[in-house]
């Protein structure tokens, strides 16, 4: 039977080509995702391991466990204590933070999260082994700086030139004295590196004489664990000491966690693509078995058992899956490279590194391809086993008996009803905790529609045929009959397309509706002309608001800063601002009291927060801050919840004592009448072209939010596009095999006068009917799921309101129409070129 399976595979390789392509594409997606995640993880680990080569023990200041312990700093005394330990080769004190370097256009030269500033620590030879200088020298004075090669190129600064940068406030200028190499993964992933002498770094990022961490290097032969224990013994309990191995293990776990989320997301879409491929594989083997029914009957007549027939079909499917998966694995290398490029283009800043092909990934990709193919062929193999030996004696090839759809329709109705009921229940949920329920309901709904598809195909195909009947004539009638002749086949082919389009439609409706909500949110409550924020979210110096308020053309510059607290165990955020000026930059409707009632010792709360916590004017709000301190201000005003204010508004005197460093989250700027248009450039000029500052209008803020949603949506389109491509392959495959199956019929039609042009039109119309049937189902299911699932979005995003983008829906339907036409090109051409006499005599 193995030889029989191999012979069948080679004999029908042309007919199986499209099926192999579907498996190949799905497996390429899986293998590409696995290779991509392995490669990115390895690149991060390589960078991390290089940066930890000389780390035997890492010492950082930990949080005190009690108030009596207090917090101690890492200073020169701690460094001297560690250097005196036996087995210690050196101690490298570091201090660092965020240093944003300005490029040629005064924008950040590195990514927002990778703009690293730290100290250059020269050894006895005057060099820092961690940051080798490739040109110039290391920094030695307050006005000097060293950059990495990429950042220096972006700034266009030569040795001896001036570098502009910002830490957390005004722009500074320093002289570039050197260019260094680094293996810091943050820099290689798109960040920037700025090196200062130790005293300057302490002044910029901490306090004079203090360090943020210490790196202890061991002498050769020293046991790392014992050295770590000795370090812990000589240091106060408030310090935290980790061995280099422990630190590497923790960072490895962190890398695995970060890369696994990306891998799982892409694998989910790969799973969708493979699931779509199941329909194509099952369709192909069902049609092949129908065409080989006499051959199978003959095998049964000469002694083959039912089990051997099943085994033969499954072996054939396994060989097909193995060959296609092997080809898909090779294509997956290109997919892995493409994923890195696409994500880097969207700002992911993944580190460079070679492709890593793990044996486990190879085996998993091959195994998935083979298993999916074999599972999809299992039901057709069972049908093959039921072919009776007596059918080998038939002289005329009879069409397969039409089976009842009653049982299938009953199961489909139950699944659909259950899925719809769950989705309707989801619409009643008041929080976003029902995501798993919604996913289960969506899966059941789609499964039910797939099972019901043969029943649904009849009215949809009839409607399409009636709409095009006058234009298509006899070709349209024949196409309709062909599409309805085997509703199971039509449904399976259309369902593959339906799955992709339903997901695309649902995502589009949710994304467009979210965009509308973002615009509504931005227009609702913010009346400021500009918002000034920090590019790296590190906060703004309070001097910025004061500087802007003095500028002509600016009516108000209102700073806002915030801190977290808990009240009755529930976390919340309190914002501090100038109560007398907040009304100039935002619209706040006060239900009771006014903004001017907010003074020292009093706060204003939103109506929602007041209702949830039983507060009213004069009530005391108990506040427990995360620094251990408490406060109990009186409620002086209540305002309607809006998008600018948090749950609680207060003065700076309440918030500032609980901030480690007083920083503004943002500054809202209101222009004087007639000055708004040219004010943006003036603000940037006032701030000295600071690369740290972002100056945005409300419209730019909305576009930025909308752009993020659109970017995610287009990424989803690309990921789901693989499933749609596989569905298109399925349409081509079904039509091509259907033409082969109906060779004699087409010959008879040609013999009685059907022209080649009409044969082509018949096949094209059948293809279009199948594609449009799948598209209508997909769009309908997608809109329903978006409507019901959108209630979960609304629970956490009150501005969300469902909007159906009919223009995009129309584009999807047009694309489905084009798919139907293009998918039929080859099958239609092949059908029209069949020889009439040979076709009539075909078996």
Report how far residue 58's alpha carbon sits from residue 744's, in angstroms, rounded to the nearest whole number.
Answer: 80
Q: Residue 638 — very low, low, confident or very high, per pLDDT cuts 50/70/90?
A: very high
Range with the poorest average pLDDT among 199-208, 335-344, 762-771, 773-782: 335-344
In this predicted structure, the answer to whether residue 52 has a pLDDT above a threshold of 70 is no
Strand-pairing partners, residue 471, are: none
In this predicted structure, the answer to whether residue 21 has a pLDDT above a threshold of 90 is no
Report how far residue 229's alpha carbon sits from residue 225's, in angstroms, rounded to the nearest whole number.
Answer: 6
| Phi–psi pair at 104, nearest 5 degrees | -65, -25
In this predicted structure, the answer to whether residue 14 has a pLDDT above a threshold of 70 is no
Q: Is 187 helix (H, G, I), strand (E, B) or coil?
A: helix
Query: Can you say whether the dihedral through the CA atoms of 143, 148, 154, 157 is positive or negative?
Result: positive
Q: CB-based contacts of 467: which residues, under 8 Å, 6+ apart?
A: none
Q: Mean pLDDT in the chain?
A: 84
Nearest to 403 by CA among 378, 381, 386: 386
Long-range Cβ pairs for the range 133-137 (8 Å, 24+): 133/178, 133/179, 133/180, 134/179, 134/180, 134/181, 135/159, 135/178, 135/179, 136/176, 136/177, 136/178, 136/179, 137/177, 137/178
Burial of 555 (0-12, 13-18, 19+ CB in 10 A): middle
Percentage of the residues of the chain whose pLDDT score is greater than 90: 26
Q: Are 787 and 425 in contact (CB under 8 A)?
A: no
Q: Residue 10 — very low, low, confident or very high, per pLDDT cuts 50/70/90?
A: low
For the segment 311-317, the average pLDDT, to the nearest whole number, is 85
End-to-end C-alpha distance for the chain, whole angstroms: 24
Report how far residue 826's alpha carbon sits from residue 752's, in angstroms, rounded to the nearest whole number.
Answer: 24
For the segment 100-118, the average pLDDT, to the nearest whole number, is 82
Distance of alpha carbon 343 from the chain centroid: 9
| Phi–psi pair at 60, nearest 5 degrees | -135, 155
Q: Residue 187 — very low, low, confident or very high, per pLDDT cuts 50/70/90?
A: confident
- What pLDDT score was predicted for residue 778? 93
- CB atoms inside a 10 Å sphere around CB 389: 15
- What pLDDT score was predicted for residue 400? 53
Report how far residue 199's alpha carbon sits from residue 337's, in angstroms, rounded to the nearest whole number.
Answer: 44
* pLDDT tens digits, 424-440: 998 888 765 677 888 89
Nearest to 634 by CA among 652, 615, 647: 615
* pLDDT tens digits, 506-550: 999 988 888 877 776 655 678 888 999 887 777 888 888 888 988
For strands 554-567 and 623-625, give the pairing.
antiparallel
Buried b / exposed e across 741-773, counting CB within 10 Å, b at 16+? bbbbbbbebbeeebeeebbbbbbbbbbbbbbbb
- What pLDDT score was predicted for residue 7? 64
Q: Are 353 and 37 in contact (CB under 8 A)?
A: no
Please report where in the chains the tokens 């927060």 appear, as a residue: 609
For the segment 725-741, the average pLDDT, to the nearest whole number, is 80
Q: Residue 842 — very low, low, confident or very high, per pLDDT cuts 50/70/90?
A: low
For the segment 198-204, the average pLDDT, to the nearest whole number, is 92
Report how far residue 285's alpha carbon sits from residue 537's, in angstroms, rounded to the nearest whole number.
Answer: 57
From residue 631, alpha-carbon distances to 163, 557, 653 in Å are 45, 28, 11
Q: Which two tokens stand for residue 16?
A: 């199986």
Q: Residue 177 — very low, low, confident or very high, per pLDDT cuts 50/70/90?
A: very high
Q: CB-based contacts of 566: which residues, under 8 Å, 6+ apart?
A: 572, 623, 624, 626
DSSP assignment string, 515-554: HHHHHHHHHHHB--SEEEEETTSS-B-HHHHHHHHTSTTE
Q: At what angle do helices 244-291 and 378-385 cross, to 10 degrees?
A: 30
DSSP assignment string, 232-244: HHHS-TTEEEEEH
Q: Are 332 and 32 in contact (CB under 8 A)?
A: yes
Strand-pairing partners, residue 624, are: 566, 630
Report how far residue 266's alpha carbon sits from residue 342's, in angstroms, rounded to the nearest whole number.
Answer: 13
For the segment 549-566, the average pLDDT, to the nearest whole number, is 92
- CB atoms inside a 10 Å sphere around CB 412: 22
Long-range Cβ pairs for the range 200-205 (8 Å, 24+): 200/119, 200/139, 200/141, 200/142, 201/95, 201/96, 201/117, 201/118, 201/119, 202/95, 202/119, 203/142, 204/97, 204/99, 204/117, 204/167, 205/95, 205/96, 205/97, 205/117, 205/118, 205/167
401 vs 144: which has the higher pLDDT: 144
From residue 32, alpha-carbon distances to 258, 330, 355, 356, 468 in Å are 18, 9, 10, 11, 43
Q: What is the 3-state secondary structure (H, E, C) of 387-446?
A: CCHHHHHCCCCCCCCCCCCHHHHHHHHHHHHHHHHHHHHHCCCCCHHHHHHHHHHHHHHH
- What pLDDT score was predicted for residue 603? 95
- What pLDDT score was predicted for residue 62? 66
Q: Residue 66 — very low, low, confident or very high, per pLDDT cuts 50/70/90?
A: very low
Nearest to 4 by CA among 325, 310, 372: 310
- What pLDDT score was predicted for residue 67? 42
Distance of alpha carbon 590 from the chain centroid: 40
In this predicted structure, the answer to whether residue 421 has a pLDDT above a threshold of 90 is yes
* pLDDT tens digits, 472-505: 788 888 888 888 888 888 888 888 889 989 999 9
* pLDDT tens digits, 668-714: 999 988 888 778 888 888 887 788 888 888 777 776 666 567 777 77
DSSP assignment string, 680-708: HHHHHHHTTS-TTEEEE-HHHHHHHHHHH
Q: Domains of the chain: which residue ranges?
A: 1-53+245-401, 57-244, 454-526+698-843, 530-696
Range with the poorest average pLDDT among 77-81, 155-159, 704-708: 704-708
In this predicted structure, the answer to whether residue 32 has a pLDDT above a threshold of 70 is yes
In this predicted structure, the answer to whether residue 416 has a pLDDT above a threshold of 80 is yes
In this predicted structure, the answer to whether residue 399 has a pLDDT above a threshold of 60 is no
Q: Residue 65 — very low, low, confident or very high, per pLDDT cuts 50/70/90?
A: very low
In this predicted structure, the answer to whether residue 396 has a pLDDT above a threshold of 70 is no
Q: Are 747 and 834 in contact (CB under 8 A)?
A: yes
For strands 192-196 and 144-148, give the pairing.
antiparallel
* pLDDT tens digits, 577-620: 999 899 888 888 899 999 889 998 999 999 999 999 999 999 99
Question: Which helix (DSSP H) or strand (DSSP E) does residue 101 occupy?
Answer: strand 100-101
């Amino acid at each position: 039977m193995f030889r029989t399976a191999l012979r069948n595979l080679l004999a029908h390789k042309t007919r199986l080509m499209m099926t192999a392509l579907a498996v190949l594409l799905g497996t390429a997606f899986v293998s590409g995702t696995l290779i991509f995640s392995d490669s990115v993880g390895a690149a991060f680990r390589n960078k991390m391991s290089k940066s930890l080569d000389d780390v035997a023990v890492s010492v950082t200041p930990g949080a005190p466990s009690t108030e009596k312990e207090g917090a101690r700093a890492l200073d020169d005394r701690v460094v001297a204590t560690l250097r005196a330990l036996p087995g210690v080769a050196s101690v490298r004190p570091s201090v660092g933070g965020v240093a944003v370097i300005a490029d040629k256009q005064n924008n950040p030269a590195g990514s927002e999260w990778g703009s690293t500033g730290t100290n250059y620590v020269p050894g006895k030879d005057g060099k820092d082994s961690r940051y080798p200088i490739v040109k110039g020298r290391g920094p030695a004075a307050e006005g000097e700086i060293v950059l990495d090669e990429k950042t220096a190129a972006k700034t266009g600064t030569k040795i001896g030139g001036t570098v502009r940068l910002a830490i957390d406030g005004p722009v500074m200028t320093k002289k570039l004295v050197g260019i260094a190499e680094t293996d810091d993964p943050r820099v290689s992933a798109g960040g920037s590196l700025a090196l200062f002498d130790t005293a300057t770094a302490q002044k910029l990022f901490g306090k004079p004489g203090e360090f943020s961490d210490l790196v202890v290097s061991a002498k050769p032969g020293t046991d790392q664990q014992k050295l770590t224990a000795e370090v812990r013994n000589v240091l106060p309990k408030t310090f935290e000491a980790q061995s280099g191995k422990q630190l590497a293990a923790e960072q490895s776990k962190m890398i695995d966690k970060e890369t696994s989320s990306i891998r799982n997301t892409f694998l989910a879409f790969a799973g969708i693509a493979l699931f779509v491929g199941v329909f194509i594989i099952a369709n192909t083997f069902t049609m092949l078995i129908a065409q080989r029914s006499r051959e199978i009957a003959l095998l049964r007549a000469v002694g083959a058992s039912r089990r051997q027939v099943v085994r033969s079909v499954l072996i054939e499917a396994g060989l097909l899956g193995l060959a296609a998966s092997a080809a898909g694995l090779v294509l997956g290398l290109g997919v892995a490279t493409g994923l890195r490029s696409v994500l880097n283009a969207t700002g992911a800043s993944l580190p460079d590194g070679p492709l890593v092909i793990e044996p486990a990934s190879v085996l998993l990709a091959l195994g998935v391809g083979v298993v999916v193919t074999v599972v999809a062929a299992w039901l057709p193999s069972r049908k093959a086993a039921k072919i009776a030996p007596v059918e080998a004696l038939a002289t005329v090839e009879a069409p397969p008996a039409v089976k009842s759809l009653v049982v299938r329709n009953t199961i489909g109705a139950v699944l659909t009803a259950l899925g719809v009921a769950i989705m309707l229940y989801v619409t009643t949920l008041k929080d976003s905790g029902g995501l798993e329920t919604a996913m289960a309901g969506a899966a059941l709904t789609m499964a039910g529609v797939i099972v019901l598809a043969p029943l649904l195909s009849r009215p949809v195909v009839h409607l399409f045929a009636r709409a095009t009947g006058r234009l298509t004539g006899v070709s349209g009638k024949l196409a309709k009959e062909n599409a309805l002749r085997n509703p199971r086949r039509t449904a399976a082919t259309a369902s593959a397309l339906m799955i992709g389009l339903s997901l695309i439609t649902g995502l589009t409706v949710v994304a467009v509706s979210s965009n509308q909500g973002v615009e509504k949110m931005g227009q609702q409550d913010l009346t400021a002309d500009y918002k000034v924020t920090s590019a790296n979210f590190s906060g703004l110096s309070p001097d910025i608001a004061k500087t802007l308020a003095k500028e002509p053309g600016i009516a108000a510059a209102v700073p806002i800063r915030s801190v977290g607290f808990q009240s009755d165990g529930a976390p919340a955020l309190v914002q501090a601002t100038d109560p007398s000026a907040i009304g100039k930059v935002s619209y706040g409707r006060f239900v009771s009291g006014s903004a001017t009632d907010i003074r020292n010792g009093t706060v204003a709360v939103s109506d929602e927060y007041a209702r949830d916590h039983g507060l009213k004017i004069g009530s005391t709000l108990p506040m427990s801050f995360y620094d251990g301190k408490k406060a109990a201000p009186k409620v002086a005003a209540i305002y309607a919840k809006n998008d600018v204010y948090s749950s609680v508004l207060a003065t700076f005197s309440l918030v500032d004592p609980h901030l480690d460093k007083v920083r503004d989250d943002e500054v809202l700027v209101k222009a004087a009448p007639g000055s708004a248009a040219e004010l943006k450039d003036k603000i940037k000029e006032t701030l000295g072209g600071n690369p740290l500052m972002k100056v945005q209008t409300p419209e730019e803020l909305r576009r930025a939010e909308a752009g993020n949603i659109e970017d995610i949506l287009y990424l989803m389109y690309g990921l789901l596009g693989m499933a749609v491509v596989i569905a298109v392959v399925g349409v081509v495959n079904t039509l091509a095999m259907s033409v082969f199956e109906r060779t004699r019929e087409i010959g008879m039609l040609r013999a009685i006068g059907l022209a080649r042009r009409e044969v082509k039109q018949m096949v094209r119309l059948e293809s279009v009917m199948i594609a449009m049937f799948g598209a209508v189902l997909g769009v309908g299911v997608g809109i329903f799921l978006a409507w019901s699932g959108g209630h979960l979005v609304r629970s956490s995003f009150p501005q969300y309101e469902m909007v159906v983008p009919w223009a995009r829906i129309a584009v999807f339907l047009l694309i489905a129409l084009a798919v139907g036409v293009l998918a039929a090109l080859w099958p239609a051409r092949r059908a029209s070129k069949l020889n009439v006499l040979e076709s009539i005599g075909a078996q």
